[in-house]
Amino acid sequence: MKFTHYDLGILIKNQVVEVSLSGNAANVYLMESKHFQEYKRARKRFGIGGLMMHTPVRLIVPHSGHWLVTLDFGGFIGKVDSNVKVYPANTSIEP
């Protein structure tokens, strides 16, 4: 299964990760770096997210650590362009 990932580095609790998609719907997951290796090997998804039909998707970092965003089609064929932004903790973001 093909996937795209963004290494966000160290984030702190309550930062907002915004993912925008253009194209097909996709599985979007915010996961800790320790789970990324397992995701690559077994395609198990550990983290926050799921199938996203509408964007932007805003995910809140639950605790400080090293975080990544992954995008995939769950084994199906698709094409999507993506963009990821990270905002400071407690930022008010307009819909």
Is residue 44 within 8 Å of residue 3, measured between CB atoms? no
pLDDT, tens digit, 9 for 90 and up, residues 24-70: 899 999 999 888 888 888 766 678 999 999 889 999 999 999 999 99
The alpha carbon dihedral of 72, 73, 79, 82 has a sign of: negative
Cα angle 4, 7, 39 (rounded to 5 degrees) comes to: 55
Q: What is the pLDDT of residues 18-34, one digit of tens each?
A: 999 998 899 999 999 88
pLDDT at 74 (0 to 100): 80
| Whole-number pLDDT of residue 94 | 60
Pick the more confident residue, 73 or 1.
73
Provide the whole-model pTM.
Answer: 0.86
